[in-house]
Amino acid sequence: MLLTTADNQRPPAAETTTTSAIAGTAPVVTDNTPVPRERSRAWYVMVMLIVLYSIVFLICVYMIRHYWFTLNRLFGEQRHPYLDVDEGDWPTVTVLVPAHNEEAVIAHNLEALLDTNYPHDKLVIVPVNDRSTDRTKEIIDDFARRYPDNIKPFHRTEGQPGKSAALRDVTETVDSDVLLVFDADYIPGRGLIKQLTSPFFDPEVGAVMGRVVPMNCGKNLLTRLLDLERAGGYQVDQQARMNLRLVPQYGGTVGGVRMAALESVGGWREDALAEDTEITYRLLLAGWKTVYQNRSECYEEVPEVWPVRIRQIKRWAKGHNQVAFRYGFSLLGNRRSSFFEKLDGILLLGVYLMAPILMLGWILALSLFFLGENPFHSIIAILSVVAYGALGNFAAFFEIAAATRLDGATRRLRLLPLNILGFIVSVVSITGATLSQALPHNLFSKKLVWHKTERYRKPVHKPT
Amino acid sequence: MNELAGIIVAPLALVAATIGWWLLAFVPALRELYQRSDVEPLRVVRGHDNDVHYFARRFRARVDSYLETTPASRKKPGKSPAKAAQNSIHYLLTRDDGSVSMPAFVNPKGSGVNIVLAPSSVTLPREAALLIELFAANSLHSGEANIFRAILADEDISLGKDSYVLRWLHAGGAIRADANCTLYGRASSDQLIALENGCSFEHLHAPRIEFGASGKHEQASQADLKTTPIGPKALSKAVEVTGRRWLINQDVDIPAGRHIDADIVVTGRLRVGAGCHIAGSIKGHEDIQIDHGTRIDGSVVGVGNIYLVHDCQVRGPVLSERDIYLGPGCRIGTHQHRTTMNADHLYIAPGTVAFGTVRARVMGTVRTGRAV
């Protein structure tokens, strides 16, 4: 490939053509006249370089973070301070189960919740049926009729749609000490409510998060890749943040909040796109801690088809970005958080923003490469690409590998190289979501809808 | 011709080699994708509920299945499962001269015996070793320096001094361990666990747990605890009040004899003076010291060590990410409100009583001495 340089400030006497730019070799001078290597760069090249350097720096920061977390998880001290609490004066708990057209799964969920070993005189289960058009209401009412002391349904027929709005409405009717949330497709184990409630004996804890484990992981390539991704996210990422006293994230399900803490920060926001991330940061700003319980595990269904997965990750990205813009600066100035909490909180908020930044970095690196300013630039461009490919991404893959090892499921690790596929889909989807979010129309829009993730189980419940 | 071949073939070969090298990394992935050798969901034990009696229940079921095996259950002609089952049980019987029919083996491997069974109350000799699960239908009294793998008894268990239990023990009645016993794993009782001075343990669970000669310690009466209320600003200028919670970003010393009706979170060191009454929970990011005669209605949670000097009462859980030191006369939980005490190491002075669960992630010890 022959490229003509774009540098118009080159001395006219020195007509040069660079060759082998891909190989990054020195320019070949056709008239054998020596050319001075030092020359001024075009302003836009300088800007591109500065931006690229900054992006590579950010990638390196995330790379260090990933390695730090993984090494901590493999070799560091593990914190499970509330795991062994099996006796105490347990607080009253309300379990919310948001449900919108969940006839396939809601019965399993309610049966499992009723089977838990939490003192039943302190447990209320509230299925939040938000305008379901299938048999969800019928199934819930049947359970409520059979277990009137423990199941108290909340049927929404009006008001703002969306999980945040539904949570806000139902929370106003709750007078328990602790509020736990389970998605309708989750199947909690017998001891899970106690495990998730035990951290609230600590008066500093505002929220708790358990671990979700994909139940349908063997379905196809997508579910298997998501299984690996979830393992890395929970087994390594969340637990490392717990170990290092950083910012474990409340994930909106298999977790809960202290009512007093929730009230102290103003309750759920109706316009939150990701109420879980939102509440994590509002609690953090108010001096409440979120804790992660890695051994409080619960099965979930992961998307089985790519369009559903893409919608899911786009929704997460938009919600996360919203929180980043709302609370990023407040966090930096927050005197209730430690330096490392602030650092981790900012990096966590930036996770989804990194996708478009990464795309920009690729474009810049390739552009600089083909502009072929001089060999040094080409090397930088190549190094940049290598930095993305080898370091940044591999660090995340290292997390997944460590997670599968900790889980004792090492054979599925062989699929790891295929995760590059999920990675690329995520980067493109998140970039699209972020760019669309930046459009003025979407930036100021208040319209919210219930983003329901498709379920794959078959309905089994027959009302008695 | 050769030049043309070089121009075309060489780059193609390079591209092919590069792609091949790249694809090599995908061979194990593609193999796993199509062979599907590891597609089951990760195991989440739905029945897992932190039940301290888990091993005891399973062993009891095993004992019952052995004892219920009768000739009527014979499935193959010529082979009697009943006889096989009977052969795998060693009975501990007290002879007329008072001696016990101890098994001849120490190591159960290859002995053919799966269970040691004491059908009636039995007292074991000194330095007996039973490295196989033991079921006592009545009470069991061990001799000095006995070693057990695991014990299940329908009534009381008393361990002679310097005895060891390696895995777990459970008693329908009381468990009493004489001086310097070591209880690894779980020890649970439906009534009482009493450990004498020098005993070590990992996980205790009973309605009442006594450490040392608890009855001999005269606990100061707290019924007439006289305290003076104190407000958040009087306690610290760096306090933030959010509902019931006082968040204080510095070390805190609560003066003696004060009453606080709030949850207190301190980012530094916390000391609660003698004779205070905290009608809430406390949390400290560094060490917590609770002076004598103090009563706390909620929980005590410490990132650092927790010291309860003596005669303190805590109704809720006491949880430390490091160690807990309890002086004599402390009470953790009540008869009506069983609770949990949990730390890496627990150093408990004789005269302390706990109700519920006491768990050391590394080891707990009953020892004479001051907490601070």
* Tens-digit pLDDT profile for residues A8-52: 333 333 333 333 333 333 444 445 555 555 556 788 888 888 898
Q: Which two tokens stand for residue B344?
A: 């890496």
User: Judging by DSSP bridges, how do beta strands B300-302 and B318-320 pair with one another?
Assistant: parallel
Q: Which residues of A touch B264 (CB under 8 A)?
A: 203
Q: What's the whole-number average pLDDT of chain A?
A: 83
Greatest Cα-to-Cα distance within chain B, rounded to the nearest angstrom: 110
Helix-helix angle A419-438:A306-332, to 10 degrees: 60
φ and ψ of B78, to 5 deg? 90, -10
B299 and B362 co-located in one domain: yes
Q: Nearest Cα to A229, choosing from A106, A54, A399?
A: A399
- Categorise residue B98: left if φ over 0, alpha if ψ from -120 to 50, beta otherwise: left
Q: Is residue B329 part of a domain?
A: yes
In our burial notation (b when 16+ CB lie closer than 10 A, e otherwise), range A380-389 reads bbbebbebbe
Q: What's the whole-number average pLDDT of chain B?
A: 87
- Distance between CA atoms of residues B236 and B47, nearest Å: 47
Q: Which residues of A touch B248 (CB under 8 A)?
A: none
Query: Does A189 contact B264 at a Cβ distance shorter than 8 Å?
Result: no
Q: How many angstroms from the chain centroid is the CA of residue B276?
A: 30
Question: At residue B267, what is the residue type?
Answer: T
B219: pLDDT strictly greater than 60 = no
Q: By the CB < 8 Å criterion, does A259 face chain B?
A: no
pLDDT at residue B177 in the model: 96
- Which range has the worst mean pLDDT, A12-21, A205-214, A331-340, B283-292? A12-21
Query: Does A414 contact B52 at a Cβ distance shorter than 8 Å?
Result: no
CB pairs under 8 A between A and B: 155
Q: Which H or E element spans position A97?
A: strand A93-99
Q: Nearest Cα to A162, choosing from A320, A275, A314?
A: A275
Q: By the CB < 8 Å criterion, does A406 face chain B?
A: no
- Distance between CA atoms of residues B159 and B184, nearest Å: 13
Helix-helix angle A339-349:A43-75, to 10 degrees: 120
A56: pLDDT strictly greater than 70 = yes
pLDDT at residue A374 in the model: 55
Q: Is residue B47 part of a domain?
A: no
Q: How many angstroms from the chain centroid is the CA of residue A88?
A: 33
φ and ψ of B149, to 5 deg? -80, -55
Instruction: Name the residue of chain A whose CA is nearest to B297's CA.
Output: A89
DSSP state of A6: -
B362: pLDDT strictly greater than 80 = yes
- Show which of B127, B162, B190 is a domain's final residue: B190
Mean pLDDT confidence for B305-334: 95
- Distance between CA atoms of residues B130 and B151, nearest Å: 10
Query: Does A213 contact B33 at a Cβ distance shorter than 8 Å?
Result: no
- The residues, any chain, with a CB within 8 Å of residue A385's CB and separated by 6 or more, are A362, A365, A366, A369
Q: Which H or E element spans position B122?
A: strand B122-123
Q: Which residues of B touch A82 (CB under 8 A)?
A: 319
Among A2-11, A431-440, B80-89, B209-218, top mean pLDDT goes to: A431-440
Q: Is residue B128 part of a domain?
A: yes
B288: pLDDT strictly greater than 80 = yes
DSSP state of A388: I
Instruction: Name the residue of chain A whose CA is nearest to B239's CA.
Output: A336
Instruction: Give per-residue pLDDT as tens, B201-215.
Output: 999 999 999 998 655
Q: How many domains are contained in chain B? A: 2
φ and ψ of A56, to 5 deg? -60, -40
Instruction: Name the residue of chain B whose CA is nearest to A408's CA.
Output: B42
Q: Nearest Cα to B359, choosing from A204, A88, A74?
A: A88
User: Mapping DSSP to helix (H, G, I), strand (E, B) and coil, where does residue B338 land?
Assistant: coil
- Show which of B190, B212, B243 is a domain's final residue: B190
Mean pLDDT confidence for A377-381: 60
Ordered by where they begin, the domains of chain A are 1-40 (no CATH), 44-464 (3.90.550.10)
A387: pLDDT strictly greater than 70 = no
B272 and B181 co-located in one domain: no
B232 and B344 co-located in one domain: yes
Q: Which residues of B touch A335 (CB under 8 A)?
A: 249
A257: pLDDT strictly greater than 90 = yes
B48, B263, B316 ranked by CB distance to A189: nearest = B48
B160 and B236 co-located in one domain: no
Domain that holds residue B348: 228-366
Q: Which residues of A touch B333 (CB under 8 A)?
A: 87
Q: Residue B335, class by beta-carbon neighbours within 10 Å (0-12 exposed, 13-18 middle, 19+ buried)? A: exposed
Q: Contacts for B153-160 with beta carbons within 8 Å, 24 or more apart? A: B155/B121, B160/B126
B32, B321, B337 ranked by CB distance to A411: nearest = B32
Instruction: Give per-residue pLDDT as tens, A137-155.
Output: 999 999 999 999 999 999 9
B25: pLDDT strictly greater than 90 = no
Q: Which residues of A touch B240 (CB under 8 A)?
A: 287, 336
- Rounded to the nearest angstrom, the minimum Cα separation between A405 and chain B is 12
pLDDT at residue A14 in the model: 35
- Distance between CA atoms of residues B257 and B291, nearest Å: 10
B108 and B170 co-located in one domain: yes
Q: By the CB < 8 Å criterion, does A266 face chain B?
A: no
pLDDT at residue A195 in the model: 94
B238 and B154 co-located in one domain: no
Query: Are the C-beta atoms of residues B139 and B156 closer than 8 Å to each other?
Result: yes
Query: Does B283 contact A202 at a Cβ distance shorter than 8 Å?
Result: yes
Q: By the CB < 8 Å criterion, does A389 face chain B?
A: no
pLDDT at residue B218 in the model: 55
B282 and B156 co-located in one domain: no
B25, B36, B280 ranked by CB distance to A218: nearest = B36
pLDDT at residue B77 in the model: 40
- Distance between CA atoms of residues B24 and B11, nearest Å: 20
- Distance between CA atoms of residues B149 and B112, nearest Å: 17
Q: Is residue B26 part of a domain?
A: no
User: Mapping DSSP to helix (H, G, I), strand (E, B) and coil, where does residue B14 land?
Assistant: helix
Instruction: Give per-residue pLDDT as tens, B99-154.
Output: 777 776 666 676 777 788 888 888 888 988 888 899 998 899 999 999 999 999 99
Q: Is residue B69 part of a domain?
A: no
CA torsion A398→A401→A406→A411, rounded to 10°?
Answer: -170
Query: Does A191 contact B50 at a Cβ distance shorter than 8 Å?
Result: yes
Q: Is residue B11 part of a domain?
A: no
- Distance between CA atoms of residues A160 and A165, nearest Å: 6
Q: Which residues of B touch A417 (CB under 8 A)?
A: 25-26, 28-29
Mean pLDDT confidence for A178-188: 90
- Distance between CA atoms of residues A118 and A87, nearest Å: 11
Q: Which H or E element spans position B33?
A: helix B27-35
B179 and B300 co-located in one domain: no
Q: What is the CA radius of gyration of chain B?
A: 30
pTM of the model: 0.86
- Show which of B190, B218, B239 is a domain's final residue: B190
B237 and B146 co-located in one domain: no
- Distance between CA atoms of residues B165 and B170, nearest Å: 11
Query: Are the C-beta atoms of residues B157 and B139 closer than 8 Å to each other?
Result: yes
Q: Which two tokens stand for residue A239?
A: 């637990």
Q: Which residue has the higher pLDDT, B85 or A253?
A: A253
pLDDT band at A393 (very low <50, low <70, confident <90, very high): low
- Rounded to the nearest angstrom, the minimum Cα separation between B77 and chain A is 43
Q: Is residue B50 part of a domain?
A: no
B160 and B246 co-located in one domain: no
A372: pLDDT strictly greater than 90 = no
B238 and B136 co-located in one domain: no
B235 and B182 co-located in one domain: no
A117, A201, A215 ranked by CB distance to B301: nearest = A201
Q: Which of B245, B315, B323 to mutate to test the interface with A (most CBs of A within 10 A)?
A: B245
Answer positive or negative: Cα dihedral of B109, B110, B116, B122.
negative
In our burial notation (b when 16+ CB lie closer than 10 A, e otherwise), range A399-438 reads bbbbbbbebebeebbbbbbbbbebbebbbebbbbbbeebe
pLDDT at residue A49 in the model: 83
pLDDT at residue A43 in the model: 85
Mean pLDDT confidence for A202-231: 94
Q: Which of B49, B322, B338, B344 to mutate to test the interface with A (most CBs of A within 10 A)?
A: B49
Q: Is residue B160 part of a domain?
A: yes
Query: Does A264 contact B26 at a Cβ distance shorter than 8 Å?
Result: no
Greatest Cα-to-Cα distance within chain A, rounded to the nearest angstrom: 94
pLDDT at residue B4 in the model: 73
